[in-house]
Structure 1
Amino acid sequence: MFSASMLIAAPAYADHHGDKKAAADIVDTAVAAGSFETLVTAVQAADLVDTLKGDGPFTVFAPTDEAFAKIPQADLEALLADKKKLTEVLTYHVVPGKVMAADVISMTSAETVQGGMLTIDASDGVKVNDATVTDTDIKASNGVIHVIDTVLMPGM
């Protein structure tokens, strides 16, 4: 099992290469970005760290801390305490394969690891369900991260 200190310390070395080639996996890349603390906490609570450090490739639509802040505190705490529901929510943000922004804009939907479907609309910016994609193509050694401004909820 990973300790939080190992997870936080690991990307310190990965981010100093100065090139666009990804040396860090999705988890370490998210930690190094500094704007996904709640997402990383949720991934740890759901025991998905090892999965998202795995071979992949994965495409993660990653909600920022501000996106998680839109969820009422009591609801967020309840979600973090419910491992089954938390796992469903988190895996709903992951699409198998490495789907770059250039590919996303030509898609109308994508099946998630959770099994649900995301609706993609690129007619005015890019929206995934009700979330706006705010940054794209953050490369990781085992996939890619696209930043979104809202937490996606399966079945909603």
Structure 2
Amino acid sequence: MKSVINNTIKLVSAALLAAVFSANVMAGNYGSKMDIVETAASNSDFSTLVAAVKAAGLVDALKADGPLTVFAPTNEAFAKLPAGTVESLLLPENKDKLVQILTYHVVAGEVMAADVVKLTSATTLEGSDITVAVSDGGVKVDNANVVTTDIKTSNGVIHVIDTVIMPKG
């Protein structure tokens, strides 16, 4: 019973996030007019990701022409990490580790949802491969569920994930 309730909560949360993004896309607040960084910065659900991108010095890279595909963890995804992890990663002395983690969330090229479901893996800008699995209509990248897809930007696409994925090395 508890797992049914937890799954229902996850589905409702994903539906709400998708509805918010859909409403914003329809209102013209997202889409091909803004780049990846601007799109993420315009939504408070990505404030931790945006802070991490700034701390890692990756703003210019994610504003470049691209195209890029970003598997973007929400603030809730970052909150799942052990206490103190985010704060530690944002310290200047941990910049290299932060860059490694963030670039593990980015794939060169524009990989739309219709393409993602055909993959079993994808090489990230970090250099390692993420695994892609499709089951019961859902898509996972490594251990993260893709909860919203195809947020088009001027330099690529964002897919929202519910967990921060970590490079294996």
Q: Which amino acid aligns with 2:127?
A: G
Greater shift, 71-80 or 88-97, is seen at: 71-80
State the match for 2:141 in structure 1: 128
State the match for 1:117 in structure 2: 129
How far apart, in 2, do the equivalents of 1:109 and 1:16 lie? 31
State the match for 2:80 in structure 1: 70
Alignment partner of 1:90 is 2:110: no
**Aligned-pair CA distance for 1:33:** 2.3
Structure 2, unpaired ranges of 5+:
1-24
State the match for 1:80 in structure 2: 90
2:161 to 124, 130, 148: 148
1:138 to 151, 158, 168: 151
How far apart, in 1, do the equivalents of 2:28 and 2:95 lie? 37
Q: Which amino acid aligns with 2:37?
A: V
How far apart, in 2, do the equivalents of 1:155 and 1:136 lie? 24
How far apart, in 1, do the equivalents of 2:76 and 2:30 lie? 26
Deviations 1:52-110 (A, max 9, x none): 00011000000000000011231221122210000000000000000000000010000
**Aligned-pair CA distance for 1:34:** 2.1
Do 2:68 and 2:156's aligned partners in 1 also have CA atoms closer than 8 Å?
yes
For 1:21-100, list aligned pairs within 5 A. Answer: 21-81=31-91, 82-100=94-112
Of Structure 1 and Structure 2, which has the larger fraction of its residues in helix? 2
Deviations 1:94-151 (A, max 9, x none): 0000000000001000000000100000123000000000000000000000000000
Alignment partner of 1:101 is 2:116: no
Tell me the TM-score normalized by structure 1. Answer: 0.86
State the match for 1:9 in structure 2: none
How far apart, in 2, do the equivalents of 1:115 and 1:20 lie? 29
**Aligned-pair CA distance for 1:43:** 0.1
How far apart, in 2, do the equivalents of 1:63 and 1:20 lie? 17
Two-structure CA RMSD over aligned residues (Å) = 1.7
Structure 1, unpaired ranges of 5+:
1-14
